[in-house]
Structure 1
Amino acid sequence: MQVEVDLNLCQGYGVCAQIAPEVFELDDDGYAVVPAGTPVPEGRDAEVREAAVACPAIAVLITEDH
């Protein structure tokens, strides 16, 4: 699983960072980011999916590995 935040959509609610702080960080302006190349930690897929669903701006994008 790969995850990223669409910065064009992110409004800085921070819900994703509250749900999955091991994956999402807030930048200096309060917008969520996933550091480039950061893999989703083992066993954290459910939290990342929850963060995507909970995002009010629908800015969390998940790509499943094939």
Structure 2
Amino acid sequence: MIAQGQLRQYALPLENQAMLQERARIVPPIHHSFTYIPSDLNIPLEGAQKHFPSESVNLSLAD
């Protein structure tokens, strides 16, 4: 039982470090995806407003 406790004490910091590394690896792409989606949509919407100026629909994402 002592060996099991020692193993647990050794493994827990490694598990935490692995979790932090994985989080650091996956967070930037997720953040960038959510950051760029509105700006990526805005360009086609601006083009649609130019082609259909008589439409009364407001296509702006900035509202």
Q: TM over 0.5, yes or no?
A: no
More strand by share: 1
Q: Which has the larger radius of gyration?
A: 2
More helix by share: 2
